[in-house]
Amino acid sequence: MLKDNLIKVKERVECACSKVKRDPSDIEIIAVSKGRPFSDIREVFSSGISDIGENRVQEASLKYSISDLPVRWHMLGHLQGNKVKEAVKIFDLIHSVDSLKLAREIDRKAAEISKVQDILIEVKTSYEQNKFGFQPEELVVAINDISGLRNLRVSGFMTVAPILQYSEDTRVYFRKLHLLREELKEVFSYNLKLSMGMSDDFEIAIEEGADIIRIGRAIFEGEDA
């Protein structure tokens, strides 16, 4: 049952928070519903989750069009230029801004509908191939450029840790994002959130300072999925 899975996830969040003396109510849980029917979104919503994550615009668009729920939609996957127009219509927060070109396109399309689009900047914290995101060294320049775009609001950073056999090994990547945020805090006065941690590694991410965790399988399939 989704409800029971969610209770378990919340217990795990509380446990991780108590280790590092954080308040569990400061952690935003996004239910990642990619590949799941809309009825599953309804079910998590009725269990108290109102943040929904998707990684493809087309799939999100279908669910959005039938949704009668006051949920917040989060875009987590790589966003192609030709999907930006639709994405700015749907999403409250785009986590996956991974290039300046994309940032400019989002700004342009958001301006067309007079929206200020909330975004997170995706950062490559590991050196795997085929991964999207800015290199840490590029961040200061990137944020400076993006800050000049009037229809974007940078709310923080997102990262995806590599898939590793032992979740403990993901700690260095989360710590890296946290350190980057602390460094950039001195340059940018406002609060930047960290979106990091998925089903297999969210406890570690919380210990390392995650503000937003993105949970798919642990909610929709259960702990042993």
Ligand X SMILES: *Cc1c(COP(=O)(O)O)cnc(C)c1O
Q: Which residues here bind ligand X, judged by CB under 6 A?
A: 32, 34, 55, 76-77, 160, 198-200, 214-218
Residue 13 to residue 207: CA distance in whole angstroms: 10
CB 221 to ligand X: min, Å: 8
Q: How far is the CB of 117 from ligand X (least distance, A)?
A: 18
Residue with the shortest CB distance to ligand X? 216
**For ligand X, which is the closer residue by CB, 17 or 160?**
160
CB of 111 to ligand X, least distance (A): 26
Tokens in use for 10? Answer: 């919340």
Rounded-to-integer distance, Cα 101 and Cα 107, Å? 10
Other beta carbons within 10 angstroms of residue 156's beta carbon come to 21
Sequence-ordered list of residues with C-beta below 8 angstroms from that of 123, at least 6 positions apart, any chain: 133, 134, 135, 136, 139, 157, 158, 159, 177, 180
Least Å distance, CB 51 to ligand X, is 12
Cβ closest to ligand X, residue 3 vs residue 150 = 3
Residue whose CB is less far from ligand X, 183 or 221: 221
Q: 103 or 215, CB closer to ligand X?
A: 215
